[in-house]
Amino acid sequence: MFREIRKKRNKIEDSAAEELLQNSRRGVLAVNGDDGYPYAIPLNYFYDRENRKIYFHGARAGHKVDALRVCDKVCFTVYGNETIREEDWAPFMQSTVVFGRCHLMENGSEKAMEMLKRFAMKYYPNEQLADEEIAQAISVIFLFNVIAALTFPTLGGMLGMTDHGFGLFAGTAVNDTSSVVAAQETYAGLMGLEGYALPATIKVVRTAMIIVLALIFSVISIRNEARSAARSDGQHANIGKIMWKALPKFILAFVAMIAVNTILRGNIADTYFYQSLFKPLFTNGYKFFVTIALSGVGFKIKFKELFTKGLKPIALGGCTWLALFLSSLTFASLFAEKMLG
């Protein structure tokens, strides 16, 4: 499929080529750009030697991404190990040229987070700094979730929102499930509501859509792997293995708990066994686990460190949060049976 190197004497051993790919800091990725012109851009990357895959980090929009959506065939080049021989005037260097197919990873997936950390470890001095960078990004997001959980119930009361209107608003405007539950319980306490669970229900529906998206992206991933050329060892990709790696594992536990709750409520809801054991677990136990989750996230947050990288991360998080707030308020106004009381 690919041309052999013209000057055989210049060819380096496969092990040396792989070592160069492993140790180089940056390389040049070439894609098929606009109007048939090649587009090459230097990128940071991480080489997964075990699976013989290369991961790049960059913006999710732009010339490079547009080109990959049209054609996933790419060429990636790294070079280094420059030396100067005493008998020659010119410097000599080694290079590794890789041909393959490149596609976007699912943002926020378990695999993406794993690769992000391994990617960071290549460019950060130690694992602690890599964890701190990732933790700060999570902290900024969670900071605004906490603000929403504390202020939205009061805001809903001030604006005179109906219970249905607030449910749609809080269920779509807050990202984190635990923060949605916190806002829900605060609102229910302020309004004297018993068994109020609409915001959490809306959030669960949103979360359930992850299952659909995960399946779609899993199928796309499998198709891309199967369509790609056979691996260098001559074996085709294991579709079952790809499917398992692409599927976020927490979804399985999420679906399992929905099934258990649905089956128990539908079949033994009126029995003493359910009323004495499972009902307290499902109605009160979740609050305990949500509290544990919030506490766990809190242990990772240091407010002083939120500002160590300047105000840009906070400003970006604030702008994103404001956009979500306004869009959710609009959504609730359009679809609530009655937005204001």
Domain ranges of the chain: 8-104, 127-335
- Look at residues 48, 46, 83, 43 and name the one whose alpha carbon lies nearest to residue 63: 43
pLDDT at 5: 79
pTM for this structure?
Answer: 0.51
When pLDDT is cut at 50, 70 and 90, the band that residue 30 belongs to is very high
Helix (H) or strand (E) holding 6: none
pLDDT tens for each residue of 50-89: 888 999 888 777 889 889 888 889 999 999 887 776 666 6
Judged by DSSP in three states, 38 sits in strand
- Look at residues 129, 86, 113, 95 and name the one whose alpha carbon lies nearest to residue 21: 95
Question: Is CATH 3.40.50.261 correct for 8-104?
Answer: no
Residues 6+ apart with CB under 8 A from 179: 142, 145, 146, 148, 149, 294
Position 300, amino acid? K
pLDDT at 229: 40
DSSP label at 61? S
Q: How many CB atoms lie within 10 A of CB 248?
A: 20
Q: What is the CA radius of gyration of the chain?
A: 26
pLDDT at 234: 47
pLDDT at 38: 93
Judged by DSSP in three states, 39 sits in strand
Confidence check: pLDDT of 233 > 60: no
Q: In angstroms, rounded to a whole number, what is the distance separating the alpha carbons of residues 167 and 34?
A: 46
Judged by DSSP in three states, 246 sits in helix
DSSP label at 238? -
pLDDT tens for each residue of 270-322: 777 777 777 777 766 766 776 776 676 667 666 666 666 667 778 888 888 88
- Give the orientation angle of helix 110-123 with respect to helix 127-159, to 10 degrees: 130
HSE of 273, CA atoms in CB hemisphere, 13 A: 4
Which structure tokens are listed for 264?
């128990």
User: Of 129-133, 178-182, 206-210, where does mean pLDDT reach its minimum?
Assistant: 129-133
Q: Do 132 and 295 contact (CB within 8 A), yes or no?
A: no
Q: In angstroms, rounded to a whole number, what is the distance separating the alpha carbons of residues 299 and 297?
A: 5
Helix (H) or strand (E) holding 326: helix 312-335
pLDDT at 230: 42
DSSP assignments along 103-169, one per residue: -PPPTT-HHHHHHHHHHHHHHSSSHHHHHHHHHHHHHHHHHHHHHHHHHHHHHHHHHTB-HHHHHHH
Confidence check: pLDDT of 107 > 70: no
When pLDDT is cut at 50, 70 and 90, the band that residue 232 belongs to is very low
- Give the orientation angle of helix 127-159 with respect to helix 177-191, to 10 degrees: 30
HSE of 293, CA atoms in CB hemisphere, 13 A: 15
Residues 6+ apart with CB under 8 A from 244: none
Q: Do 180 and 188 contact (CB within 8 A), yes or no?
A: no
Q: In angstroms, rounded to a whole number, what is the distance separating the alpha carbons of residues 223 and 242?
A: 10
pLDDT at 32: 92
pLDDT tens for each residue of 12-23: 888 888 889 888
Q: In angstroms, rounded to a whole number, what is the distance separating the alpha carbons of residues 302 and 304?
A: 5
